[in-house]
């Protein structure tokens, strides 16, 4: 830990502080200034141009009566829960890689998991959009070829969903009832490179003596995972979960690209971030969108605080 | 040692890249440079469709022949990023001399960053010398009086438009001949539907994947909304017997609140039935597809037809390996057994406004030359080059369209369209998120109409509230401007120009105020309707 | 702390930035009005304020300019509106143009700038100004506002018609062509909407007689006159205005319909 220096010495060496000025400036301009501007504009009726009118707390009181905004939390809640389950394949793969005896193979599997990261997320989204195409998409083609479509049609007739019909291509992004399943299915098999690497790092910090002791006790592989590996990587799991929840709550790029600014058929894909975008760029209510953003920020901050305070990890 | 060399190479590369980037920013050589006695005029736009860049290049070369000391440079920007690019350039003071006005810019920014050209366009265009337009004020040399370049709320002309626009149905003539034995286009709505059915039968019989009409959430509504408007023509006459024969969105909303029409009105249900009938010939799930997907379908020969604008003509023709035919949207006629009762007939395109409006920026380093080039762009000779190279409709009177553009010339012989369903942001959201209830095996016009009936009034309330706010802001902005004009006119009573401006401003304010109060009346009617049990 | 070369460089840079921001601009009432006309309200307001106390400046004109630009200085805040009100109140005494315009803009502030607005106070102010018969077209535009507010105030078709007809006498106070034209046209439209076609037609004809110079307004008015005349069986007026419309605005979405209407009128009845 660096030793503290006296004030006089710090003042004499003031030129050294100039080295942090560029970073501070960049953070101030690109992070803090937009945030402060958004807070400022949330108190105005603002159309995005130079004209604005101060309206006090009206934007915030309007949020209370905004049905679309509150309903969007139901959708985002479903997606958050789905994303918790979507973390499982990454954990599973990390465990599998960790248990490989050969270090060389471990390395190559890590490389193979990381390589897809070079494909920009946007490109992946567009590829998935093509997968969902009712006429040319891979998903419908796969369901037809595997006869799963026939099974789905029978299930539809039994449950009365009204979305799967024989001989009619399924519009995954065009049917209200299929919007949320489509948003959950996308990204299959849900293996995120960053998640795998984080969990792998956690697993590799587990000492071999723990495994040796487990072997001596006759613990099965699954029991090892359940009672040794999972508890010891809970810090990483918790970190991933916090980042995932924040990302899911704030995010709307997925929904915007796949469904458009209205949230798709029936508005089923509307999430708070997308509603904020809709108000700003479709309705032209930038001031109101800033207020929504501020509300979302406070909400996420509250959730993070709850998570930090009440979700404890026993080591 | 090896590490030092590698590190050195890395730092060296970084330094070189940084120096080049810095140099590009600090010394943009093309920015109105006057090196070697050549002035470069930059012109930016978002029209990446085939033919446009070539046309502007050709016009630029023609201008350079007349002015060898000037170079015209084009900067095409993708539409998706155009608004962001535009604002960055304008605020940064690095904007090109001439920029296309239309998307991504508010009126305040137009006033702040662009030069009004009203005085310029009220005089004859010197580049029309030797033509029949030689003595005609420039704004009257455009088919619409240069409406496409006029900023209603700023009371000034800011842009010179280059093109007209229209919507048409494109046909794969080779496939048409295969299906029907002839390349004759359908002349009526019934012939159009029969052709669609014949296409489906042909595809089934020959085991080919062909749909009659390529659709997407862009192309599908172009066709369906136009057809819908044919069903509310007579209704509009009934609702407003002494109206001005054109639709007024605010009045449409007020009538909805007063229950003078509703989504369940026979005319509206007929319009929705018409939309559904046509939708059965678009590919399933078309509403989740993008414009490019539909174009792709058509040029790949997977569909017989596609509905799109004249602006896509050159792109579609150049990408299609087959001959493309162009026809008008086939509206139902009054004698149609199903859709005839509510329609007066085909819809006039005389209301079309000129497009591709180019404005002069205040930050231009060579405003006189840029202005001169703008005049050249709006001249008859240049517009002739425009239509011949881009194959788009000309905007200047007396210019014969290229044969490829001729089918797109707006046709005047038709009735005013009926009113569309409310399309302000929140009403449009109700429409867009429920339209799947119109299409598909489970959809029906009644089901969709019922959904609209539930959501429309509430959406209308928020749309009208927003409209009232925006007309109020507009009106307030005028207050200061008209005060300035009034004071200046009082100080200089002989100034005819000021007289004209003040007169125009007063008429404009009167119109805006009428709109403002009409919006308030519509909102009151909507709130009354919502309060009813 | 030693005044090192680095510090000197920083100080020189800061001074340069400060000096550069105070570039001399043309400062005069005319330039201020030009800026306001170009929608550059913040800049205009600053020039008006900078001119305060300068010799040779018409203080009433300057104060009026400062006040009306406050209405649109960004951001628009209740404080700026209050400043505008204060300044305008100081100008209302007297009979000159600034007194009249100050009264008009105080009424405008009551009508639309306050939260909540004061429509009754605005109406009283517009009426009082009209009764003064100022001959100022901007002040006379208050008559249009009174007609529009009357239209909004009515809750049923009958009371709407009465409220609108009650505003007709306001025309006597309008001395300018612009004032009369805009009032007649607006009242005419409102009466047509209320179902009183005969009186509405009279008003529209009176408005047209004053001369409509804005093409968009003119074509709308001519079609409305022709249609109202057709429905009320005033065939000659209808035919005249259909013809005028076609001659001047042949390229319009309504032209085809107007041609058909004209043919119907010109076809002799059996």
Buried/exposed A1-29: b ≥16 CB within 10 Å, e otherwise? eeeeeeeeeeeeeeeeeeeeeeeeeeeee
- With CA atoms as reference, report the closest residue to B431 among A176, A262, A271, A180: A262
Q: How confident is the model over B482-497, as pLDDT tens digits?
A: 999 999 999 888 888 8
Strand, coil or helix: what is B415? Answer: strand
Instruction: Please tell me if residue A267 touches chain B, with a CB cutoff of 8 Å.
Output: yes
Q: Where are the domains of chain B?
A: 38-155+356-394, 167-348, 455-531
Buried/exposed B194-215: b ≥16 CB within 10 Å, e otherwise? ebbeebbebbeeeeeebbbbbb
Before C116, cis peptide (omega within 30)?
yes
* Average pLDDT of the residues of chain A: 88
The rounded distance, in Å, linking the Cα atoms of A1 and C27 is 60
Read off the DSSP letter of residue B394.
B
Say what the pLDDT of residue C23 is.
47
**pLDDT of B80 over the 90 cut:** no
**pLDDT of B77 over the 80 cut:** yes
Where in B110-222 does DSSP place strands (E)?
Answer: 150-151, 156-157, 159-163, 167-172, 211-214
CB atoms B440 and A171 under 8 Å? yes
**pLDDT of A2 over the 80 cut:** no
SS3 content of chain B, % helix, strand, coil (to 5): 55, 10, 35
* Fold classified for A62-120+178-310: MetI-like fold (1.10.3720)
Distance from CA of C37 to the nearest CA of B (A): 5
Chain A CB contacts of C6 under 8 Å are: 15
Q: How confident is the model over B59-75, as pLDDT tens digits?
A: 999 999 999 999 999 99
CB proximity list for B171: less than 8 A, separation 6 or greater:
B185, B304, B305, B324, B325, B326, B327
Chain B CB contacts of C40 under 8 Å are: 111-112
The rounded distance, in Å, linking the Cα atoms of A166 and A153 is 6
The rounded distance, in Å, linking the Cα atoms of C144 and C141 is 5
Q: Which residues of B, range 406-465, sit inside 8 Å of A by Cβ?
A: 425-426, 428-429, 432-436, 440-442
Lowest mean pLDDT among B398-407, B494-503, C107-116: B494-503
* Chain B residue whose CA is closest to A50: B108
Q: How confident is the model over B89-118, as pLDDT tens digits?
A: 988 888 999 999 988 787 778 888 899 998
CB atoms A266 and B429 under 8 Å? no
**pLDDT of B193 over the 60 cut:** yes
Q: How confident is the model over B119-161, as pLDDT tens digits?
A: 899 899 999 999 999 999 998 899 888 989 998 777 789 999 9
Say what the pLDDT of residue B45 is.
96
Q: How confident is the model over C54-91, as pLDDT tens digits?
A: 998 999 999 999 999 999 998 899 999 999 999 999 99
Lowest mean pLDDT among B179-193, B237-251, B441-455: B237-251
**pLDDT of B29 over the 70 cut:** no
CB atoms B466 and A168 under 8 Å? no
Buried/exposed B232-257: b ≥16 CB within 10 Å, e otherwise? bbbbbbebbebbbbbbbbbbbbbbbb
Chain B CB contacts of A285 under 8 Å are: 466
Measured between its terminal Cα atoms, the distance across chain A in Å is 26
Before A34, cis peptide (omega within 30)?
no
Say what the pLDDT of residue C6 is.
59
Say what the pLDDT of residue B242 is.
67
Q: How confident is the model over A219-251, as pLDDT tens digits?
A: 888 888 888 888 888 888 888 888 888 899 989
Q: Which residues of A, range 59-118, sit inside 8 Å of B by Cβ?
A: none
CB of B250 within 8 A of CB of B517?
Answer: no
Give the closest of B425, B426, B436 to A265, CB-based: B436
B-C contacts at Cβ under 8 angstroms: 161
Average pLDDT over residues B162-172: 95
What is the helix (H) or strand (E) element at residue B517, kind and residue range? helix B496-531
Q: How many residues does chain C have?
A: 270
The rounded distance, in Å, linking the Cα atoms of C12 and B522 is 61
Percent of the residues in chain B that have a pLDDT greater than 90, as a whole number: 66
CB of B139 within 8 A of CB of B369?
Answer: no
The rounded distance, in Å, linking the Cα atoms of B62 and B447 is 58
* Chain C residue whose CA is closest to A10: C1
Q: How confident is the model over A22-42, as pLDDT tens digits?
A: 999 999 999 999 999 999 999
* Whole-number Cα distances in Å, C159 to C150, C154, C197: 10, 6, 16
Q: How confident is the model over B214-226, as pLDDT tens digits?
A: 999 899 999 999 9
Neighbour subunits, A (≥3 Cβ pairs < 8 A): B, C
Alpha carbon of residue C90 to chain centroid: 23
Chain B CB contacts of A169 under 8 Å are: 284-285
CB proximity list for C45: less than 8 A, separation 6 or greater:
C66, C69, C70, C73
CB atoms C33 and B484 under 8 Å? yes
Confidence of residue C38 (pLDDT cuts 50, 70, 90): confident
Distance from CA of C5 to the nearest CA of B (A): 25
Predicted TM-score (pTM) of the model is 0.84
Q: How confident is the model over A301-314, as pLDDT tens digits?
A: 888 888 777 766 55
The CATH class of B167-348 is: alpha beta
Give the closest of C68, C224, C257 to B480, CB-based: C68
φ, ψ for residue B106, nearest 5 deg: -95, 170
CB proximity list for B496: less than 8 A, separation 6 or greater:
none
- Helix axis angle, A121-131 to A138-145, nearest 10°: 40
Chain B CB contacts of C105 under 8 Å are: 479, 483
**pLDDT of C216 over the 70 cut:** yes
Say what the pLDDT of residue C14 is.
59
**pLDDT of B399 over the 50 cut:** yes
Q: How confident is the model over A106-135, as pLDDT tens digits?
A: 899 989 998 888 888 889 888 998 899 888
* Average pLDDT of the residues of chain B: 91
Q: Pick the more confident residue, B190 or C13.
A: B190
- With CA atoms as reference, report the closest residue to B261 among B238, B277, B242, B294: B238
Say what the pLDDT of residue B153 is.
73
Q: Which of A135, A140, A161, A275 to mutate to test the interface with B (most CBs of B within 10 A)?
A: A135
Buried/exposed B451-466: b ≥16 CB within 10 Å, e otherwise? bbeebbbebbbbbbbb
CB proximity list for B24: less than 8 A, separation 6 or greater:
none
Say what the pLDDT of residue A116 is.
86
Q: Where are the domains of chain A?
A: 62-120+178-310
* Chain A residue whose CA is closest to C3: A12
- Helix axis angle, C29-37 to C59-70, nearest 10°: 20
**Common-topology check for domains B38-155+356-394 and B167-348:** yes
Strand, coil or helix: what is A101? Answer: coil
Q: How confident is the model over A204-217, as pLDDT tens digits?
A: 888 888 888 888 88
Q: How confident is the model over C165-210, as pLDDT tens digits?
A: 999 999 999 999 999 999 999 999 999 988 899 999 999 999 999 9
Say what the pLDDT of residue A28 is.
93
**pLDDT of C5 over the 50 cut:** yes
**pLDDT of B34 over the 80 cut:** no
Locate tokens 């998120």: which residue? Answer: B433
Q: Which two tokens stand for residue B49?
A: 């469709």
Q: Which two tokens stand for residue C15?
A: 């001074």
Confidence of residue B279 (pLDDT cuts 50, 70, 90): very high
Q: How confident is the model over A58-108, as pLDDT tens digits?
A: 999 999 999 999 999 999 999 999 999 999 999 999 999 998 888 899 899
Neighbour subunits, C (≥3 Cβ pairs < 8 A): A, B
Q: Pick the more confident residue, C157 or B203.
A: B203
Q: How confident is the model over C110-120, as pLDDT tens digits?
A: 999 999 999 99
* Whole-number Cα distances in Å, B185 to B414, C55, C115: 19, 78, 60
Homologous superfamily in CATH for domain B38-155+356-394? Periplasmic binding protein-like II (3.40.190.10)
CB atoms B412 and C256 under 8 Å? yes
* Average pLDDT of the residues of chain C: 89
Q: Which of B108, B146, B237, B242 to mutate to test the interface with C (most CBs of C within 10 A)?
A: B242
Q: How confident is the model over B227-264, as pLDDT tens digits?
A: 999 999 999 888 876 666 777 889 899 999 999 999 99
φ, ψ for residue B442, nearest 5 deg: -95, -5
Alpha carbon of residue C267 to chain centroid: 43
């Amino acid at each position: 830990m660096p030793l503290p220096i006296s004030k006089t010495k710090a003042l004499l060496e003031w030129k050294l502080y100039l080295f942090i000025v560029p970073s501070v400036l960049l953070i101030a301009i690109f992070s803090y200034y937009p945030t402060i501007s958004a807070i400022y504009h949330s108190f105005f009726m603002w159309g995005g141009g130079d004209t604005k009118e101060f309206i006090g707390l009206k934007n915030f009181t309007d949020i209370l009566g905004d049905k679309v905004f509150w309903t969007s939390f139901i959708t985002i809640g479903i997606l958050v829960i789905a994303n918790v389950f979507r973390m499982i394949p990454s954990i599973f793969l990390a465990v599998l890689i960790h248990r490989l005896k050969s270090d060389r193979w471990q390395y190559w599997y890590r490389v193979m998991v990381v390589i897809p990261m070079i494909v920009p997320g946007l490109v992946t989204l567009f590829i998935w959009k093509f997968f969902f195409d009712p006429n040319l998409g891979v998903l419908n083609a796969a369901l037809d070829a595997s006869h799963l479509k026939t099974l789905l049609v029978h299930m539809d007739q039994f449950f009365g969903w009204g979305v799967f019909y024989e001989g009619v291509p399924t519009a995954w992004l065009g049917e209200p009832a299929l919007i949320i399943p489509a948003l959950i299915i996308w990204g299959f098999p849900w293996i995120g490179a960053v998640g795998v690497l984080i969990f792998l790092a956690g697993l590799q910090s587990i000492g071999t003596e723990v495994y040796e002791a487990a072997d001596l006790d006759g613990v099965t592989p699954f029991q090892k995972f359940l009672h040794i590996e999972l508890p010891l990587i809970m810090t990483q799991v918790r970190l991933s979960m916090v980042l995932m929840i924040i990302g899911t709550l704030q995010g709307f790029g997925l929904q915007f690209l796949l469904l458009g600014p209205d949230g798709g058929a029936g508005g089923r894909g509307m999430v708070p971030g997308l509603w904020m975008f809709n108000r700003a760029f479709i309705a032209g209510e930038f001031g109101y969108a800033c207020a929504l953003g501020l509300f979302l920020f406070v909400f996420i901050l509250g959730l993070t605080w709850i998570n930090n305070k009440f979700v404890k990890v026993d080591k | 040692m090896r590490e030092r060399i590698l590190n050195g190479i890395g730092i060296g590369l970084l330094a070189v890249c940084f120096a080049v980037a810095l140099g590009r920013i600090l010394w943009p050589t093309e920015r109105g440079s006057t090196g070697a006695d050549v002035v470069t005029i930059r012109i930016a736009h978002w029209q990446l469709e085939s033919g446009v860049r070539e046309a502007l290049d050709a016009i630029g070369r023609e201008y350079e022949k007349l002015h060898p000391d000037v170079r015209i440079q084009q900067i095409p920007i993708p539409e998706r990023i155009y608004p962001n690019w535009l604002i960055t350039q304008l605020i940064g003071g690095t904007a090109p001399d001439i920029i296309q006005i239309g998307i991504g810019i508010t009126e305040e920014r137009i006033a702040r960053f662009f030069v009004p050209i009203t005085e310029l366009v009220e005089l004859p265009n010197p580049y029309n010398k030797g033509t029949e337009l030689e003595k005609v004020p420039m704004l009257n040399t455009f088919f619409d009086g240069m409406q496409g370049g006029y900023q209603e709320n700023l009371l000034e002309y800011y842009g010179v438009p280059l093109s007209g626009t229209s919507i048409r149905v494109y046909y794969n003539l080779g496939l048409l001949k295969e299906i029907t034995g002839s390349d004759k286009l359908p002349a009526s709505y019934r012939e159009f539907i029969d052709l669609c059915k014949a296409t489906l039968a042909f595809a089934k019989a020959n085991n080919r994947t062909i749909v009659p009409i390529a659709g997407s959430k862009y192309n599908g509504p172009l066709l369906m909304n136009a057809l819908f408007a044919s069903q509310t023509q007579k209704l509009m006459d009934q609702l407003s017997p002494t109206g001005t024969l054109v639709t007024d969105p605010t009045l449409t909303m007020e009538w909805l609140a007063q229950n003078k029409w509703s989504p369940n009105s026979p005319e509206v249900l007929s319009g929705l039935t018409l939309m559904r009938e046509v939708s059965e010939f678009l590919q399933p799930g078309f509403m989740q597809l993008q414009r490019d997907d539909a174009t792709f379908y058509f040029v790949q020969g997977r569909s017989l037809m596609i509905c799109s604008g004249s602006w896509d003509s050159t792109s579609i023709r150049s990408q299609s390996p087959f001959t493309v035919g162009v026809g008008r949207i086939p509206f139902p006629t009054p004698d149609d057994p199903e859709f005839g009762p509510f329609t007066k007939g085909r819809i006039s395109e005389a209301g079309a406004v000129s497009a591709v409006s180019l404005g002069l920026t205040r930050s231009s380093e060579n405003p006189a030359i840029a202005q001169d080039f703008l005049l050249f762009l709006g001249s008859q000779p240049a517009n002739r080059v425009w239509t011949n190279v881009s194959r788009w409709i000309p905007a200047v009177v007396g210019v014969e369209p290229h044969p490829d553009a001729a089918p797109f010339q707006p046709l005047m012989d038709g009735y005013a369209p009926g009113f569309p369903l409310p399309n302000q942001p929140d009403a449009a959201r109700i429409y867009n998120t429920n339209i799947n209830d119109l299409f598909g095996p489970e959809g029906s016009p009644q089901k969709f109409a019922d959904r609209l009936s539930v959501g429309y009034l509430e959406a209308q309330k928020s749309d009208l509230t927003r409209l009232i706010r925006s007309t109020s802001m507009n009106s307030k902005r005028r207050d200061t401007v008209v005060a300035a004009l009034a004071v200046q006119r009082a100080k200089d009573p002989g100034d005819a120009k000021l007289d004209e401006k003040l007169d125009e401003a007063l008429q404009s304010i009167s119109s805006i105020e009428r709109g403002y109060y009409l919006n308030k009346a519509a909102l009151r009617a909507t709130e009354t309707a919502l309060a009813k049990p | 702390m030693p005044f090192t070369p680095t510090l000197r460089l920083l100080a020189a840079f800061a001074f340069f930035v400060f000096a550069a921001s105070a570039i001399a601009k043309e400062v005069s009432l005319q330039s201020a009005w030009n800026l306001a006309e170009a929608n550059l309200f913040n800049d205009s307001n600053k020039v008006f304020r900078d001119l305060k106390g300068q010799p040779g400046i018409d203080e009433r004109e300057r104060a009026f300019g400062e006040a009306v630009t406050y209405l649109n200085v960004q951001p628009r805040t209740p404080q700026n509106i209050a400043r505008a009100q204060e300044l305008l109140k100081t100008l209302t005494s007297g009979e000159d143009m600034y007194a009249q315009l100050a009264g008009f803009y105080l009424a405008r502030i009551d009508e639309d700038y306050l939260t909540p607005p004061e429509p009754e106070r605005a109406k009283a102010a517009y009426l009082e100004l009209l009764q003064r018969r100022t001959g100022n077209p901007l002040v006379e535009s208050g008559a249009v506002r009174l007609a529009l507010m009357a239209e909004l105030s009515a809750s049923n078709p009958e009371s709407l018609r009465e409220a609108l007809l009650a505003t007709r006498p306001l025309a006597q106070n309008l001395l300018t062509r612009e004032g009369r034209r805009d009032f007649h046209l607006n009242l005419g439209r409102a009466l047509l909407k209320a179902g009183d076609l005969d009186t509405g037609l009279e008003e529209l004809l009176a408005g047209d007689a004053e001369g409509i110079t804005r093409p968009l307004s003119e074509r709308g008015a001519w079609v409305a006159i022709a249609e109202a005349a057709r429905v009320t069986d005033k065939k000659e007026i209808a035919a005249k205005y259909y013809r005028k419309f076609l001659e001047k605005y042949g390229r319009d979405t309504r032209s085809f319909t107007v041609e058909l209407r004209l043919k119907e009128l010109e076809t002799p009845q059996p």
